[in-house]
Structure 1
């Protein structure tokens, strides 16, 4: 699992720190601007351009996080469907083989559920991946072995493609589940928010007027959008999760 200072730090802490840094930047900018002679010219156009640039950066980052969230959701649903199909294909085998298949499918399914519910515990994540890989090999080896037996030729022709789709779906899900917005973009968003705050304060200082409600509202709403963006980008924690999609995997337990 990915580890870094920014990624390991809770999103709520990030936005709380950002909120106060933005207020501090505004105060510093106001102090500097207040010391200069009052200008007759209006720099509203420049400030609007900077705010528009911040809005564009917020929208771009939010879009990246949202697309990754949707990819995780779609791939998890596809994996649940693939596992369900493979489990049903075991019914075409005789009872003796069907029981063995379903026992392995049950262990594999539990390992995949554990993977998604391991939060940020590296040991649990690695253990679940190892177990799912172990039982995926067992399932494939058994299916390929019986594919050489003419008595199970039809059953194997049904099972092998289903297993292949199941493994491909798991591989895709693992990849997109760990994907995240590049940290350089997140850092740029955070730093740019503070810089814009400084210019807002500087503009207010040069006019000798500070609208506290506007400033607090701007900082608060910007931090809320950033919080939601970070929450979307972190599937193993936060308020926005994939609980409904993971429940699809749990519902497959009814097949055993």
Structure 2
């Protein structure tokens, strides 16, 4: 979160500097008014910036919602697999249920440690993957003892869903726009500040209200986009939705 705050404060400083630089350039040229051609270019720059901000914000919000839905899907997949353990022979259930509890504990710990302790998060992830294979093998062995193809199909299909969703969530965790998109967004923001400052150069006094509102609004918008893209780092958090997985673990008595 600290990195995001420092980055946005740095961006705000650059925007203010860009506005002042544009204004000084205009004052040095001593032009009474800009040509209509420059007005067209100004409109194109601001229009492109607005379009890019809209697409970036919309995409970030969609990815945030997708990640939230994946938490629910994983919780449901684990809950279904847990219930279908009842179909297996009674002798095999205690060991399987213990492995299930440990598996869910590791999944919760992975997302909890993801930012605070990446090394521990990597270990949690490896342990949960190992438990996936262990639960899979134990379930196959137990289902075959029952000699009922329907039981084998039901149990393994639920386990397959539980395993697959971890891959989906891992990919979603790393899905972000390419770096050139962010670079273009920053470049356009700075270009727009220069253009805005140039347009203010025909005034004797600096319109501080417009300058500050413009810089703050643009900075907050870009910060919100970054916050939505990395919802386990900044102010907009997805962590609270992990509570559904914690509740599932609490129900696994």
Task: Say whether the fold is shared (TM-score over 0.5).
Answer: yes
Bigger Cα displacement from structure 2, 153-162 vs 19-28: 153-162
Residue 255 (str. 1) matches residue 252 (str. 2): yes
The one-character-per-residue Cα deviations of 1:26-84 (angstroms, maximum 9, x if unpaired) are 11111111011223445544323322211111111112211221221111211111011
User: Which of 59, 76, 85 is residue 80 of structure 2 equivalent to?
Assistant: 85
The one-character-per-residue Cα deviations of 1:70-107 (angstroms, maximum 9, x if unpaired) are 22111121111101100111122343322111101001
Q: CA deviation at 1:209?
A: 5.2
1:1-256 aligned within 5 A: 10-41=3-34, 43-120=38-115, 121-151=117-147, 153-208=149-204, 210-253=206-249, 254-256=251-253
How many residues were matched structurally? Answer: 249
Instruction: Supply the distance in 1 between the matched residues of 2:61 and 2:179 (Cα, whole angstroms).
Output: 16
Is contact 1:25–1:198 with CA below 8 Å preserved after alignment? yes
Q: CA deviation at 1:155?
A: 3.0
Q: 1:243 to 1:35 in 2, by over 3 A?
A: same
Gapped runs of 5+ residues in structure 1? 1-7
The CA RMSD over aligned residues, in Å, is: 1.9
Gapped runs of 5+ residues in structure 2? none
Q: Using structure 2 for the length normalisation, give the TM-score.
A: 0.91
Instruction: Supply the distance in 1 between the matched residues of 2:199 and 2:242 (Cα, whole angstroms).
Output: 49
Q: CA deviation at 1:150?
A: 4.3
Q: 1:93 to 1:203 in 2, by over 3 A?
A: same
